[in-house]
Chain A
Amino acid sequence: MTMQSFLIFDEAARTAAESLNSEAPFAIQPRPLDGPSVPADLAGHYAAPASLLAHPDYARWHPSLSLLPIRSLDVEMVFAAVPD
């Protein structure tokens, strides 16, 4: 079990975050919560590390990220391995 703290994005929040990705070399790509045991209220949601909130290189996202919920999740349960 590997627990990590994540910002939780719904579809609209994910789209808004990724719309700021145009300025390289920093980007946010929330990962789908599609693993074998995702909490029911997080189905269809996405996650990115909560540490982004304190990361100075991601400052342009901070106003919107600070409004998102944070959850501690088991990465082996909430993320699926996508086959090639």
Chain B
Amino acid sequence: MVGFSLGIGVSVAHRRRRPSYDPFAAAYFGTFQAEPGATYKRLMSNFAVELQDEVIWPELDLIFDIGAMDATGWARNWKNPDQFMLAAINGPTIAPRFGATGDGSTMCLEAPWTPFANGQKFALNDASIWMASHANVANAQPAVGAGQSYVLAINPRSTSDNGICQINSVTGSPPAYAGVTSSVGFWGAQLFNGNQVRMTRDGITLGPDVTKAAEGRPTGRLRALGRTPSSYSTLPVRMMAIGGSVIGKEQAFAAAWKALADGMAAL
């Protein structure tokens, strides 16, 4: 009996294990038209694990890597790959590792998701929107967001070199931070405590939090390369996410994104 038991143990020890990936990441890249390589899978798995460890993942409604290395991976929502897929409207250019670029007048990416009707974690008084860009382009209009009734938007670098964001408000001027001379980076706009707005780049605040009370959630659909109803930007957008405020976790989110983007750039 002892010899039999040892024999099984040796057999198991020598069995080659398949690599294990985070189940959320695996569900996402399982929709890819071509199976990604092991290193790319590991990068995606690590990103999902990191966001879960930091309790950012459950606080987000949508995550899109618009520079995904797959024919249609850019359209998939990491939180649920078959739900709220992006549509490329009017032919924006979409490139692996770089993201989407529009013409500033008609092209955009749009999710069938509105902050008002579909926001789960994205609440009236506690909300955030995130984006990344690998390009430095000043624009008059926001690069991501939604409108109609109220506004949600990030414009990393305006034509007057301000970082501008707006989140669940429409009256008055949106928070603006001077001296932004590059739109490259990972950008966030967060609303917390119902009236505090924070804008960050690569996890670092652009300035003091701004007091601006939440008024309502936009009823228009979420877009990249502009925002609903009719604002369009030429700033290329690499990623977009939206959800609850995840206040205080900006640096962790930025670090997780940087690990994924830098890792993909090296593939």
Contact = CB atoms under 8 A, between A and B. Distances in A.
Given A25-B72, A31-B105, A48 B90 contact: yes
B231 A29 contact: no
A84 B147 contact: yes
Interface magnitude class on chain B: 20 to 34
Contacts of B74: 25
B105 A75 contact: yes
A58 B149 contact: no
Interface residues of A, number: 26
B58 interface: no
Dominant secondary structure of chain B at its interface with chain A? loop
Interface string B88-124: 1111000000000001111100100000000000000
Given A25-B72, A81-B230, A49 B90 contact: yes
A81 B231 contact: yes
B105 A79 contact: yes
A25 B86 contact: yes
Contacts of B148: 84
B85 A24 contact: yes
Contacts of A25: 72, 74-75, 85-88
Contacts of A80: 230
Interface string A46-84: 011101100101100000000000000001000111101
Given A49-B106, A84-B148, A79 B230 contact: yes
Contacts of A81: 230-231
Q: In the complex, which of the residues B72, B91, B104 has the most CB atoms of chain A within 10 Å of its own CB atom?
A: B91
A28 B229 CA distance: 15
16 contacts: A2-B105, A21-B87, A25-B74, A27-B87, A27-B89, A27-B110, A29-B90, A30-B90, A30-B106, A31-B106, A48-B106, A49-B107, A75-B105, A80-B230, A84-B147, A84-B149
Interface in B31-89: 72, 74-75, 85-89
Contacts of A27: 87-90, 110
Contacts of A24: 75, 85, 87
A81 B142 CA distance: 13
Contacts of B170: 84
A2 B104 CA distance: 10
Contacts of B103: 4, 49
Contacts of A28: 89-90
